[in-house]
């Protein structure tokens, strides 16, 4: 495989769709560029002023130069950087870093933090002449640029950086899976590697659609509030992303899995407002038992999408863990719309035989991994009745985490 570039690892059309939705919600212009400032995506919601400037040869060169300089500044800072462009407009850049490599930059803004002064207006008239644009036309577009608080643009930029970096991570995973598949065919290790690749696909369970719904929520909160809840949801999403990108071949303590699940549910409860509520009951004496990473989130996601989302009055998800003899049972119960008898049999059969029915795919992956680790007597059991909710029971043996043997994610690492 030759040098992999940004265009090779992202779906440009999908990213442009996400950027357009981002711009519609936030009112900010947005674009993704390579490390040298070349635009990868079409301009999203650019101001009339910036489109006018970029339509001139001198202005376009200045815009590309400003984008590249701001991108390099954000890389030096290791995060979000804000600066004035060559037209004295506020832009924001954040580096797209994956495994220590900078793949490019996400840029957004084209706003003022305060109304332009008389001196700025005079300089704007001089710039118009330099660009070859009629001063009155240029000034009209310049003064139409909106004024926003600095906290607002920083919060929006942070969220856009998280989304774009996550999409790059998924693209790299896909490329690596394709490369591994070719190598395993040549070495006659097809079956074992395929199982490994199937496990990796679970990292895509928190998909870009869900992430953008979260971005919608965060952007609206940033617009309506003075940002405390926005910081809260950004924190939860960052924690969720870091956890979901962990090595799926490892075991984690139940309390780590519950901590991750709380972040996921926190975001969903904000998104759905009062439509969805959750309750978690895990006794401290069993919180160190081990299970495969990301075993609970696919079950809870299924409960939300297929159980509570369709229920007009909403409902509750109960997560309960308990010990019986030498076995741990973890129940995920919802009071949603339930599953009719015929569909339930199809789902159970798909889980048992390892088929890929859309509704059962996440459950199938969880069940398979539990059986691979602990044996065929463990795994998932699903019970449901149309109109009376669904219960999924996860069954694992008692294997407890030894202090110091496994690295545990602490809240200050997220």
What is the spatial distance between Cα 111 and Cα 153, in angstroms, rounded to a whole number?
9
Residue 277 pairs in a beta bridge with 316
For tokens 């940004």, name the residue. 6
Is this structure's pTM higher than 0.75? no
Helix (H) or strand (E) segment spanning residue 253: strand 251-253
* Three-state SS at 276: strand
Dmax (CA) of the chain:
83
Per-residue pLDDT tens digits of the chain, which is 414 residues long? 457 778 877 888 888 888 888 888 888 998 888 887 778 888 889 999 999 999 999 999 998 888 888 888 888 887 888 999 999 999 998 888 777 788 888 889 999 999 999 999 999 999 999 999 999 999 999 999 999 998 888 888 888 888 777 777 777 777 777 777 676 666 655 455 455 655 555 555 555 556 656 656 665 666 577 766 676 777 677 677 667 666 566 789 999 999 989 988 988 888 887 788 999 999 999 999 999 998 999 999 999 988 998 888 889 999 999 999 999 999 999 999 999 999 988 888 888 776 555 556 688 889 988 998 899 999 999 999 998 999 999 999 998 765 443 333 332 332
List of domains in the chain? 6-162 (3.30.450), 165-409 (3.30.565.10)
3-state helix, strand, coil in the chain (%, to 5): 55, 20, 25
Distance between terminal CA atoms of the chain?
A: 33
């Amino acid at each position: 495989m030759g040098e992999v570039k940004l265009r090779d690892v992202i779906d440009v059309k999908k990213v442009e769709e996400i950027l357009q939705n981002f711009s519609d919600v936030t009112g900010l212009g947005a674009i993704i560029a390579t490390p040298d400032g070349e635009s990868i995506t079409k301009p999203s919601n650019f101001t009339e002023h910036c489109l006018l400037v970029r339509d001139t040869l001198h202005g376009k060169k200045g815009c590309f130069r400003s984008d590249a300089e701001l991108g390099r500044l954000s890389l030096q800072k290791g995060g979000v950087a804000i600066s004035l462009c060559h037209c004295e407009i506020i832009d924001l850049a954040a580096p797209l870093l994956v495994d220590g490599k900078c793949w490019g930059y996400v840029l957004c803004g084209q706003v003022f933090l305060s109304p332009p002064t008389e001196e700025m207006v005079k300089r704007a008239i001089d710039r118009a002449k330099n660009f070859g644009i009629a001063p009155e036309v240029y000034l009209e577009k310049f003064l139409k640029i909106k004024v926003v608080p600095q906290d607002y643009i920083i919060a929006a930029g942070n969220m856009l950086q998280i989304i774009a970096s996550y999409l790059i991570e998924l693209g790299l995973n896909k490329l690596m899976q394709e490369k591994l598949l070719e190598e395993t065919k040549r070495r006659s290790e097809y079956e074992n590697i395929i199982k490994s690749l199937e496990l990796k696909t679970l990292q895509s369970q928190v998909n870009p659609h869900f992430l953008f719904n979260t971005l919608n929520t965060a952007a609206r909160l940033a617009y309506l509030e003075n940002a405390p809840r926005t910081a809260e949801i950004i924190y939860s999403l960052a924690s969720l992303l870091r956890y979901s990108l962990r090595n799926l071949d490892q075991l984690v303590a139940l309390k780590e899995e519950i901590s991750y699940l709380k972040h996921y549910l926190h975001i969903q409860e904000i998104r759905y407002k009062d439509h969805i509520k959750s309750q978690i009951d895990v006794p401290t004496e069993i919180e160190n038992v081990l299970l495969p990473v990301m075993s609970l989130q696919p079950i809870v996601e299924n409960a939300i999408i297929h159980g509570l989302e369709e229920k007009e009055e909403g409902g509750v998800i109960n997560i309960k863990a308990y010990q019986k003899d030498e076995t741990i049972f973890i129940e995920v119960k919802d009071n949603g719309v339930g599953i009719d008898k015929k569909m339930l049999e199809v789902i159970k059969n798909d889980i048992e035989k390892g088929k890929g029915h859309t509704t059962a795919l996440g459950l199938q992956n969880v069940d398979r991994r539990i059986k691979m680790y602990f044996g065929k007597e463990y795994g998932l059991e699903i019970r449901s009745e149309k109109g009376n909710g669904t219960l999924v029971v996860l069954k694992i043996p008692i294997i407890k985490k030894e202090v110091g043997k496994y690295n545990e994610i602490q809240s200050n690492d997220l």
